[in-house]
Structure 1
């Protein structure tokens, strides 16, 4: 099984941090490759990309100011197959601090709750250095939430990203 690479560079608008790759993603070597995962449609529908990328085009996100990484690089069937000790919080935080994106979006509450603490969806009070933290519902088809409700969080994040582009909040 393939370990997915990080897609990170300095000055990104947003980095999406997943919990860990699905078995399908590890098999294909690409982020969010599961047939029920809505990440790629949401990314384009919210305006982060100008077209819907396919999982095998995941490396293209950098051109759009978007980055990708995971807390755990080991692929599993689901979150219950992970041990808390596997979460590479300090490593992910160091990567984020180094590349300094405007925002980090946690794809699902699980990663944020296991590494930072309790949360609701949306913009968080905490920051990592100068990076704002946002928690969106998991794009996995396994989350029992409507597509409309999930997508609304991607739109809300995009509005924050766009508003911050004219801001000088980056300290």
Structure 2
């Protein structure tokens, strides 16, 4: 991907990977330029989402970003707090996060996942006005969905290793009902 191609992806949106009744709807902060350019969530090579998802037990093998629709087979989906692609999350305003939180809440109420897993506690704090939120299960719900804040899998998040992230994602998995009804077409 050339620098020009990446810059051309600025402000693009990427379609969600969703269906009704998911076990977990993972919610990123916003698409990176690489995600905007490829149309695949968590596409930057330094992003640890896909390896962590596998290591934690959510998927039986490590999926690649271009296999993102395979998540639906496992009752998983992906969306973002803010839809537009940027080079860095700090390019987003608090107002964008709060507006994104409102849009996300409506989406969650419509899709009715068992869990909403926000991968980035700072984005969660801002979008939902929960300044003291910590990694882990949260004390509120959105519709019927319970909320869990997870560490951001960006390679820039050096406070968390792939292993410690996988352990935290695994804590969430231990709370997910494997019999959650899904409305997903296809095998």
The two structures have a TM-score, normalised by structure 2, of 0.83
Q: Tell me: CA distance 1:70–1:166, structure 2 relative to 1, closer, same or farther (3 Å).
A: closer
Q: How many residues were matched structurally?
A: 165
Q: In structure 2, what is the Cα distance between the partners aligned to 1:86 and 1:58?
A: 26
Structure 1 position 26 matched with structure 2 position 68: no
Q: In structure 2, what is the Cα distance between the partners aligned to 1:166 and 1:12?
A: 10
Aligned 8 A contact 2:52 2:163 in 1? no
Q: In structure 2, what is the Cα distance between the partners aligned to 1:64 and 1:150?
A: 20
Q: In structure 2, what is the Cα distance between the partners aligned to 1:64 and 1:144?
A: 29
Runs of at least 4 residues off by over 4 Å: none
The two structures have a TM-score, normalised by structure 1, of 0.91
State the match for 2:6 in structure 1: none
State the match for 1:156 in structure 2: 171
Structure 2 unaligned blocks of 5 or more: 1-8, 181-187
State the match for 1:4 in structure 2: 14
Q: In structure 1, what is the Cα distance between the partners aligned to 2:43 and 2:108?
A: 23
Structure 1 unaligned blocks of 5 or more: none
CA RMSD, Structure 1 to Structure 2 (Å): 1.5
